[in-house]
Amino acid sequence: MSRTVQLYLVITTIALVGIFGLLRLGNRLTPPLAAGSSLSSPVAASQTGPDKATGPAQATTFLTSATANLYQNGTSGLSRLFLQLFVIIAVAALAGAVAARLGQPAVVGEMIVGILLGPSLFGLVAPHAFGFLFAPFSLEPLRLFSQIGVCLFMFAVGMELDVSQLKRQVQTAIVVSHSSIVIPYLLGVTLALFLYQSLAQPGASFTSFALFIGISMSITAFPVLVRILRDRNLFSTPLGATATACAAVDDVTAWTILAFVVAIARATSIGGAVFSFALVILFVGLMLALIRPGLQRALSAFALEQPEPSKTSLAIVLTVVLASAFCTELIGIHALFGAFLAGVIMPKQGGFRHKLTVRVENISSVLLLPVFFVFTGLRTQVGLLSGPGDWGLCAIIIAVATLGKLGGSAFAARLTGMDSRTSWQLGALMNTRGLMELIALNIGYDLGILSQRIFAMLVIMALVTTTMTGPLLTLFRRRHEKMLGEAEQPAFS
């Protein structure tokens, strides 16, 4: 045996023997007593008295104690959160892969998983397991995780906006995108007249309810649209460029409208709403006029050109995002608007936005956004839609949303001179709602405007309109090819 091993054994043996001896010596000491207690108290007796349990009884006591400890450790807040995240991430990744194999964006599978893990399926099939995994007292950490995920996602969306692309097609983008907002918004407010008394949250005003129904009909999921274009190799085509520009303008406009709607819903008076509007305008002006150039100087050209953002650069960026999100939450228009605006003002030099987007999306899309989908699914109770009447109403909502968004976009595109196929394909793309719709719906739910029934109907509408985008693109392309083929065939007399 080498000298080093011998030395190691001697040191550890002496230390262990010393520790054991000190513990034996310390166990002979009298335990400290609380004020007013005596040595004859039951607690003191149980602590100082010898343990008489032996044999099978001792083994049973040990097994019971070990089981109780395992159960206590497994039901702690941290253990339950880890278990929730494990289940959510694993199932969401599987569903995203299945959706991709079926020709759908991965986000569609993740959105569906949110409903399947909620009370609509998991809670019905395995109520005890559902109650253990998603106990009501354990949902607050999930809610906070989901909100952080949404803010990071909106920050990435803001960085994906390219204002220079909008300038090239500004007229078409504004006409199509604003038409695809005002037409479905009008239809949504009209629909709200018939839904308000039966589906609004008790105490919600008609104005707030109608404005939220309108915004739910008007939103386009810009990130999902871009991913669909890339998956189908359409991103660099004229259709892809036009759709990206229209969706970007639609995104900015719709979220600006939503910010004002939230300010109206949260304000207790007209004066309060006007004050919130003024603060929003002031905040946006400060971000664009002061923070954006200041951020460029703070990061420096050298830092922006580096292959990897430094820790200092990331700290500065995160500080801007958190401060911006805090300011908009303080104003009363939700933190995600501040995160979105922080993304818009990020420098583009040296591909800095792309470097940040890769890091932010890896965290938000894999870890945090699936939590948001599941948290939304926990609020979505499809079982509340009972009978043909509710499902018929849900179908009407889907039809109105599709007519307003797809039809309005295609109609405006035709007016700007686009051909029929491109117009219908553009309309199908603009009808994609995806995650952006769920964000808006959760805001309406949190503000006490949307009831659980209308919330479930609108979530289903978001899923259906997002899922139909790919098949509609294929359908319109094939119809156009068929029409061209028939036109090229020779006529026989």
Residues 6+ away with beta carbon under 8 Å from 239: 422, 425, 426
If pLDDT is split at 50, 70 and 90, which confidence band does 58 have? Answer: low
Which has the closest alpha carbon to 154: 232, 233, 258? 258
Residue 41 lies in a domain: no
Residue 354 lies in a domain: yes
pLDDT of 88 strictly over 80: yes
Residue 89 lies in a domain: no
Residue 438 lies in a domain: yes
Q: Which of 56-70, 209-223, 424-438 is predicted least confidently? A: 56-70
pLDDT of 306 strictly over 90: no
Residues 6+ away with beta carbon under 8 Å from 443: 258, 262, 334
pLDDT of 53 strictly over 60: no
pLDDT of 439 strictly over 90: no
Residue 425 lies in a domain: yes
Dump pLDDT digits (tens) for 350-407.
Answer: 788 888 888 887 777 788 888 888 888 888 888 888 888 999 999 999 999 999 999 9
- Unique residue bearing structure tokens 């769920």: 438
Which has the closest alpha carbon to 227: 341, 406, 107, 137? 107
- Residue 409's region, left for phi above 0, alpha for psi from -120 to 50, else beta, is alpha
Question: What pLDDT sits at residue 399?
Answer: 95
**Mean pLDDT across the stretch 428-440?**
86
pLDDT of 492 strictly over 80: no
In three-state secondary structure terms, 335 is helix
pLDDT of 122 strictly over 50: yes
Residue 137 lies in a domain: no
Dist CA 486 CA 218 (whole Å): 36
Domain span including residue 194? 166-367+387-476
Instruction: State percent of the chain over pLDDT 90.
Output: 21
Q: Return the beta strands (E) in 344-401 as ranges.
A: none
Dump pLDDT digits (tens) for 266-296.
Answer: 776 667 767 877 888 898 899 989 999 988 8
Question: What pLDDT sits at residue 15?
Answer: 93
Question: What pLDDT sits at residue 453?
Answer: 92
- Decide if 172 contacts 246 (C-beta within 8 A): yes
Burial of 29 (0-12, 13-18, 19+ CB in 10 A): exposed
Question: What pLDDT sits at residue 187?
Answer: 93
Question: What pLDDT sits at residue 493?
Answer: 40
Angle, alpha carbons 328-289-244 (nearest 5°): 75
Question: What pLDDT sits at residue 166?
Answer: 58
- Unique residue bearing structure tokens 């949902």: 139
User: What count of other Cβ atoms lies within 10 Å of the Cβ of residue 292?
Assistant: 17
Q: What six digits make up the tokens of 265? A: 């819903």
- What is the full DSSP assignment across 274-317? HHHHHHHHHHHHHIIIIIHHHHHHHHHHHHHHSSS--HHHHHHH
If pLDDT is split at 50, 70 and 90, which confidence band does 451 have? Answer: very high
pLDDT of 487 strictly over 70: no
Dist CA 394 CA 454 (whole Å): 9
Question: What pLDDT sits at residue 75?
Answer: 76
* CATH of residue 466: 1.20.1530.20
* Number of structural domains the chain divides into: 1
- What is the full DSSP assignment across 39-81? TTSHHHHHHHS-----HHHHHHHHHHHHHHHHHHHHTSHHHHH
Q: What is the mean pLDDT of the chain?
A: 83
Q: What six digits make up the tokens of 388? A: 């043909």
Question: What pLDDT sits at residue 37?
Answer: 58
Question: What pLDDT sits at residue 334?
Answer: 78
User: What count of other Cβ atoms lies within 10 Å of the Cβ of residue 291?
Assistant: 18
**pTM recorded for the entire structure:** 0.75
If pLDDT is split at 50, 70 and 90, which confidence band does 120 have? Answer: confident
- Residue 258's region, left for phi above 0, alpha for psi from -120 to 50, else beta, is alpha
**Mean pLDDT across the stretch 160-170?**
64
Dihedral angle sign, alpha carbons of residues 272, 273, 276, 281: negative
In three-state secondary structure terms, 323 is helix
Dist CA 433 CA 216 (whole Å): 9
- Decide if 211 contacts 264 (C-beta within 8 A): yes
Q: What six digits make up the tokens of 184? A: 């479905």
Question: What pLDDT sits at residue 178?
Answer: 86
pLDDT of 458 strictly over 90: yes
pLDDT of 190 strictly over 60: yes
pLDDT of 12 strictly over 60: yes
Residue 433 lies in a domain: yes
Residue 375 lies in a domain: no
